[in-house]
Amino acid sequence: MSSLQPVRGTHDLLPDDARRHRKVEETAFACARRYGFGEIVTPIFEFTDVFARTLGETSDVVTKEMYTFADRSGESLTLRPEGTAGVARAFISGGLAQSLPLKLFYRGPMFRHERPQKGRLRQFHQVGVELLGVESPLADVEVIALAWRVLSELGLASKVRLEINTLGDAESREAYRNTLVAYLSQFRDALSEDSRNRLDRNPLRILDSKDEGDRRIVENAPLMSDSLSPAAREFFTQVTDGLHALGIPFILNPKLVRGLDYYCHTAFEFTTTELGAQGTVLAGGRYDELIATMGGPRTPGIGWAAGVERLSMLVGEVADEARPVSVIPMGDAMAAMVVAERLRRIGRSVEMGFSGNMKKRMARANKVNARFAVILGEEEAARNAVTIRDLDTSTQDEVPLAQLEEYLGRLL
């Protein structure tokens, strides 16, 4: 029955998938802690205005992709499509302006009504960081360095490349906006309907258009780098010099933009060629005006978010770090359960062989990649002992029950 299938654009995380996801999330969090970031957990849904303000009323996410609904009191609520807005809202509502600078890490599910494809789901997962309260370009360097550290420790350094650009300061963006509108206005009739609507309100978003006709027009558009103020140019130079100093490789991508007005200065993406069209695995940028746009005090910020599904596809198979011990009862099953519980109490992962003959239970032990099998048959029980079989070498010893924990402790 179709009603018993996962909703389109969602999927179940079975143990192998969940293990990869956990590897990505825990690696990211461990790295973030090394850089001084603490974890923040925001609600999965917020008042719709939180996202409408931050993502822009004309953005595709707001107009086409958000899961928005009215609750029983008539309030408009939205499942979070991304993490930054919720963190910014928490900063304002929590009165955290006195705690700056703030370094925050988040993880969890996000929701967008997009066309599902490889690496892109309607319920997907992200890890991300936000550094609030630091205007220095050193903050940009540190945040990018953290991203590079996460990807490196996942073994992905050779599979991704860092693309970086500057969006300049307010003066630069105003100059670029005027130049860009003058260029695009020549092609107004050839632009897609969405881009025509954005031409006067948010022309930078046209640079992100997926329409093939728009892309051909944008190909020859003027570059932001031609409109940079001296201050913006110096800011970006300090960022790139910092990346050079840390040995982080990057390429300049003058076409890389963020379409919303509160983005400024550094924009960056880590991309790969191994996932088809969904090439971006981690993206971020500086947003010094975001919190002010939401009604809070002007607070500089920079951050990034990474797609856990896409990263886990690149990571590939992940083995359990701690291989279990398989307890196999061939006599008194309850006595074997007592043995299993003894091992669990000292921190061992134990797989209980519940049923089947010896061959089937050993096959199960091998399937779960057990390191040792603890066999408790009638003869062992009579001698108050167990047989411990090394499943890697096929050797075995009989061990008194009283010495079980000590014996396995030496082996493991």
Mean of the per-residue pLDDT values of the chain: 90
298-335 tens-digit pLDDT: 999 999 999 999 999 999 887 766 788 999 888 888 88
Residue type, 29: F
DSSP E strand stretches across 277-356:
280-286, 301-307, 325-329, 350-352
Task: Check residue 1 and give its pLDDT.
Answer: 47
Q: Give the integer Cα–Cα distance in Å for 105 and 259.
A: 24
Model pTM?
0.86
| CATH (one of 3.30.1370.10, 2.160.10.10, 3.40.50.970, 3.40.50.800) for 325-411 | 3.40.50.800
Annotated binding-site residue numbers: 82-84, 112, 126, 130, 258, 262-263
- Express each pLDDT in 133-145 by its tens digit: 999 999 999 999 9
Domain spans in the chain, listed from the N-terminal domain onward: 2-169+229-315, 325-411
Max intra-chain CA distance, the chain: 93
d(CA 350, CA 345): 10
Residues contributing to the annotated binding site for L-histidine: 82-84, 112, 126, 130, 258, 262-263
DSSP run (H or E) holding 147:
helix 137-153
Cα–Cα–Cα angle for 20, 118, 193, nearest 5°? 135
Q: What is the CATH number of domain 2-169+229-315?
A: 3.30.930.10
